[in-house]
Amino acid sequence: MPHCCFSVLCLGCGSNINNKHFYRKYILLERTRSSRFGGVRLCRLERGIGHVAQSSFPSSSQRFALVASSVQDSAKSGKEQSVVEENRARFRLSFGEQARTVVQVCKTGTLCTSSVEHDDTPFGSHVDYILDDFGRPIVLLAQNAAHMRNLRKSQKCSLFCQPVASSGQSGCRATLVGFMVKLPLEQVSEVMEAYIDTHPHAAIALKYPEFSFYRMEVCDVYFVGGYGVAATWVDPKEYISSEPDPLAFQSQDLLKLMNSDHMEDLLRFCNVFLHLKNIEQCEIVMVDRLGFDMRVQLSETDIREYRIGFREHVVTSLDAQSALVQAMQEAWELENGYEKLWSEETPRPAVLYYSLSN
């Protein structure tokens, strides 16, 4: 591997370091051409101990290049198209997983009920909630509250959830549709502890008998991935069976760090992985265990979003930082004439999944 100098993420401190020697101590990418996986061996030093993780990429005979656009996809036959979509899914969370992650992160939302005072006009009110193991919201409601009076007439309701960090039309959001039922008495004690851990102020409310726990039974889910990106109904069974992404609560810190301190690397991602030049603006808008989404603005009327996959799935924030550093190293080497180091690797997955252009 060539001795190069480029910016990396510093574990634990979030600083920007341009030091090849620090990088060598932090992360080592060892070419494993003799490996039966034909992949990359990632060696990371944590607290002085070396940890090795072998990627699970297919052999050279099984590899595929996943660089797609809407134009390329439209020209494929039905069978080829299904293969492309299957490959895409390997590097993106399902809509069920994305919706479950959004609802998991929020902890508060807008509960919409049918107003008894205004001829069933939709009535929205703020509520705190926690989720049970099936992604069903559990809320603490006062008997004399407006939304509770509405629910006594009709149990039907919806819950709108959108993280503060991704507010506005460009952010992800989800709406759960269903009906509210009172939580069985035998489940209250267990729920009470978890609810107070998440919402400490509820401890005072629970001293009064007019407050009770209710659970929302989810009948349908509507997910929006951002402005023009994805707006779709999600099978409630898929939502219930999905797990929230493990990076759900750490991803915003990674986004802030990458977008504020690593613009040079982001532009290099655009050049090397997306083959785009003359970028007006770019940013990472989502990081999860499978990869990250980049929003790229080529002009005032040409805005695109891409998914760039990780070479191995991550579980923790430290894993995600390692994967991002690996992507930086790969992009730097490919841009600076060291393509041979990657000649036996499958191209990094990069998929255009949204384009707004006039």
Digit-coded pLDDT (tens) for 255-271: 888 998 899 999 999 99
Q: Which amino acid is at 202?
A: A
pLDDT digits (tens, 9 = 90+) for 294-326: 999 898 888 888 999 999 889 999 999 999 999
Residue 34 in this model has a pLDDT that exceeds 80:
no
Residue 29 in this model has a pLDDT that exceeds 70:
no
Q: Which amino acid is at 14?
A: G
pTM of the model: 0.71
Residue 66 in this model has a pLDDT that exceeds 60:
no
Residue pair 248/98 in contact (Cβ under 8 Å)? The answer is no
Any idea what the Cα angle at residue 197 is, between residues 193 and 203, rounded to 5°?
70
Residue pair 159/147 in contact (Cβ under 8 Å)? The answer is no
Q: Which helix (H) or strand (E) holds 2?
A: none
Residue pair 38/59 in contact (Cβ under 8 Å)? The answer is yes
Among residues 162, 142, 160, 165, the alpha carbon closest in space to that of 152 is found at 142
User: Which range is least confidently modeled, 25-39, 191-205, 238-252?
Assistant: 25-39
3-state secondary structure of 106: helix
Domain annotation for the chain: domains and CATH numbers: 7-93+248-357 (3.20.180.10), 96-241 (2.30.110.10)
Question: In this structure, is the dihedral angle defined by the CA atoms of residues 108, 307, 46 and 7, taken in order, positive or negative?
Answer: negative
Instruction: Determine the Cα–Cα distance for residues 326 and 311; give it in Å rounded to an integer.
Output: 9
Q: How many residues does this entry show for the chain? A: 358
Question: In this structure, is the dihedral angle defined by the CA atoms of residues 84, 226, 129 and 292, taken in order, positive or negative?
Answer: positive
pLDDT digits (tens, 9 = 90+) for 206-247: 999 999 999 999 999 999 987 666 789 999 999 999 999 999
Structure tokens at 230: 């994805």
Residues 6+ apart with CB under 8 A from 99: 174, 221, 223, 234, 239, 242
pLDDT of residue 356: 74
Structure tokens at 234: 């999600």
Instruction: Determine the Cα–Cα distance for residues 292 and 326; give it in Å rounded to an integer.
Output: 13
Q: Are strands 67-68 and 350-357 parallel, antiparallel or unpaired?
A: parallel
Structure tokens at 274: 């997306």
Mean pLDDT of 193-215: 93
